[in-house]
A and B are shown apart, each in its own frame.
Chain A
Amino acid sequence: MSTSTIAAPRAATEGARAADASAPALEVAGVSLAFGGVTALTGVDLKVAEGEIFSVIGPNGAGKSSLINVVSGLYRPNAGCVLIGRKSFAAVPAAALASLGVARTFQNLALFNGLDVAGNVAMGLAHQDRTGLFGQIVGSPGARAEEARSLVTEILAFIELTAIADRAPGTLPYGVRKRVELARALVSRPKLLLLDEPMAGMNAAEKADMVRFVRAARDRWGATVVLIEHDIGVVMEISDRIAVLDHGRKIADGAPAEVRDDKGVIDAYLGVAHDDDEIPLELAGAA
């Protein structure tokens, strides 16, 4: 395991991106994270190419969510850096994440229950609003509001939520709420989409829908997708590449077939006792 702690340039210029089209959409370099004495991540390196669907798998507690939280700026890593596009960060600024073209969903739903479904999805565009308070009170909704409305309408139709656009999220089934969160992430047309267990708790039909939406996020809207998922069947089906974490370290990284046959991966899964209902490797080919 190469723990290359790169002293990266602070903020590379935006213009450099065009020159190098093959730059990874996301790069995680030597990221370590510890909470007090508990180590969550140790020297994790990842490179996600533009337009990839990249899955991160691993047993419970392997550090998958921690990794996503580092990439989205909720955790500040103790070492290493994160490159989004060509910009390098020792700690990603969460408040500027949306402006960087990154959107995410949460493992536990993080919807705004006081807003209806359409309102939640529209919040995905909150970072674009530059109207001052006075203008919002006095002015009439301008061209930008119209544009936002049509983006929301389009994404609601695509994620098949139009019929429930004015429902409160709290009144919807779990699987549908997961879709609302995906719509909120997709509405801003992110370059990088981070999905933390988007299919957890879904039945087979709902999972199949979600797979369709995730593929479309890439194929139709050009997002690079980083996906955490426990359902190995789904992961094998959907991913271009897979990284496997165990106890905070990356133990494998490659195409689905390579990862599936990796001895270390099999050991990591079978060697760790699970008390939950997921028996990941059995489900290959499902969904």
Chain B
Amino acid sequence: MADVAFRLAAPSRRLTSGAVAGALVLASAYLLPPLVGSTYLFEAILLPFLALSLAGLGLNLLTGYAGQLSLGSAAFMAVGAYAAFNFDLRVPGLPFVGSLILGGLSAAAVGLAFGLPSLRLRGFYLAVSTLAAQFFVQWALNKFDWFSNGSASGVVRAPDIVLAGHVIDGPVERYLFALTVVVAATLFAVRLANSQTGRNFIAVRDNETAARIVGVPVLRTKLVAFAVSSFIIGVAGALWSFAYLRTIEPAGFNLDRSFQILFIVIIGGLASIRGAFFGAALIVVLPLALSRLGQAAFGGAFDSGVLELSQRVLLGALIIAFLIAEPKGLVALADRARARALRPFLKPPYGG
């Protein structure tokens, strides 16, 4: 889907089958959970899944496509959440969607500023410099209580999401709202990945010198990657706070969160739109499944401390396993499985 670079002669089959699959996924995402889902499904699984998927999607544009490693994702989420809160609070008459977009734009501005070192630094050194964003933003949010409207702890209750006079209330409505935002952002990301800018991202990642020689504006491309990525991550932060947690707190956007989003991208699959969703699904479901399994196997001995520990061990092992065995992540596994399943029905792709 997003891996398509420059379809030349036969865009038809892959594109249409992708569109059909996308439409099916969309339809079931909108229709199935409201019909069959429990509150638990929405609150514990679907809402965090959507917010984390969106954050992973944003980071994947930066790290997967443009090759710029960032450890500041949670900081950009925090900027998006707190900026949306403040726009909602301080600009009377601004619709919530406006606050959401302005929150994203604020995150983009901060992302742009912290992306400036990418013009000189690469890889590990750049990653360390993006850590500065992580610590600076958390410090600023704790230091200046203006951001949290005077709350000493920095924790504030998220205001209601209001759309055209209608208060988005209850898990199902919040889910549908978050889903719509994620769908819009995903369409944007797909378009971007297949545009000239998206190909410039890949060119800068794969060979910066060659990219420069063919006339890719390398510096501008990197900054665009930081801005667009931070915008999406900022919106994800707002969803996380407004639609999922219903509170906004700096502690939720700590370094652990940044790593979690990086793991989502690595496990799901770098430079793939679907990868973020696969990775987020695993990250969200893993602790729940582990808890159930542990309870079933060990009963009371499997308390929350053991759960936390075993979860970290398992996640660490998974990341190492993926980096060694399948650096392209769950997406590559899924594609292989599908190819194997479909093989009897399809002609060979490169006509004999």
- Whether A and B are associated in the same complex: the answer reads yes
Chain A positions near chain B (C-beta within 8 angstroms): 72, 74, 94-99, 103-104, 106, 110-116, 118-119, 122-124, 126-129, 131, 133, 136-138, 149, 152-153, 156, 162-163, 165-166, 184, 188
Proximity bits, B291-307, A CB within 8 Å = 1, else 0: 00000000000000000
- In contact, A136 and B215 (Cβ under 8 angstroms): no
A100: min CB distance to chain B, Å: 10
The listed residue (A95, A115, A152) touching B217 by CB distance below 8 A is A95
Question: Which residues in chain B, 193-214, are within 8 Å of chain A measured between CB atoms?
Answer: 195-197, 199-200, 202-203, 205-207, 209-214
Interface residue stretch chosen among B2-10, B42-50, B52-60:
B2-10
A162: min CB distance to chain B, Å: 8
B272: min CB distance to chain A, Å: 11
A98 to B215, CA, bound (A): 6
Asked whether A152 and B8 contact (CB < 8 A) given A111-B206, A137-B188, A137-B192, the answer is: yes
Asked whether A115 and B215 contact (CB < 8 A) given A133-B197, A136-B191, the answer is: no
Q: Using Cβ atoms and an 8 Å threshold, which residues of chain A touch B9?
A: 153, 162, 165
A104 to B211, CA, bound (A): 12
- Size class of B's contact patch? 20 to 34
Chain B positions near chain A (C-beta within 8 angstroms): 5-9, 188, 191-192, 195-197, 199-200, 202-203, 205-207, 209-218, 224, 228, 271, 350
A106 to B188, CA, bound (A): 35
- In contact, B196 and A126 (Cβ under 8 angstroms): yes
- In contact, A110 and B210 (Cβ under 8 angstroms): yes
Per DSSP, are chain B's interface residues mostly helix, strand or loop, or mixed? helix
Asked whether A124 and B214 contact (CB < 8 A) given A114-B202, A119-B199, A136-B197, the answer is: yes
- In contact, B218 and A122 (Cβ under 8 angstroms): no
- In contact, B188 and A114 (Cβ under 8 angstroms): no
When A and B form their complex, what is the total count of cross-chain residue pairs whose Cβ atoms lie within 8 Å?
A: 106
A111 to B210, CA, bound (A): 7
- In contact, A126 and B203 (Cβ under 8 angstroms): yes
Q: Using Cβ atoms and an 8 Å threshold, which residues of chain B touch A123?
A: 199, 203, 211, 214, 216
- In contact, A110 and B207 (Cβ under 8 angstroms): yes
Asked whether A166 and B8 contact (CB < 8 A) given A129-B196, A133-B224, the answer is: yes
Additional A-B contact list (11), CB under 8 Å, known A111-B207, A123-B211? A94-B213, A98-B213, A98-B215, A111-B206, A112-B210, A113-B206, A114-B202, A116-B5, A133-B195, A137-B195, A165-B9
Nearest residue in B to A131 (C-beta to C-beta)? B196
Asked whether A115 and B202 contact (CB < 8 A) given A126-B216, A127-B214, the answer is: yes
Q: Using Cβ atoms and an 8 Å threshold, which residues of chain B touch A115?
A: 5-6, 199, 202-203, 206
Q: Using Cβ atoms and an 8 Å threshold, which residues of chain A touch B217?
A: 95
- In contact, A94 and B203 (Cβ under 8 angstroms): no
- In contact, A136 and B213 (Cβ under 8 angstroms): no
A162 to B350, CA, bound (A): 12
A103 to B218, CA, bound (A): 17
A149 to B6, CA, bound (A): 9
Which of A94, A111, A129 has the most chain B CB within a 10 Å cutoff? Answer: A129
Asked whether A95 and B205 contact (CB < 8 A) given A111-B210, A115-B199, A119-B5, the answer is: no
- In contact, A136 and B195 (Cβ under 8 angstroms): yes
Asked whether A74 and B209 contact (CB < 8 A) given A97-B215, A118-B5, the answer is: yes
- In contact, A122 and B212 (Cβ under 8 angstroms): no
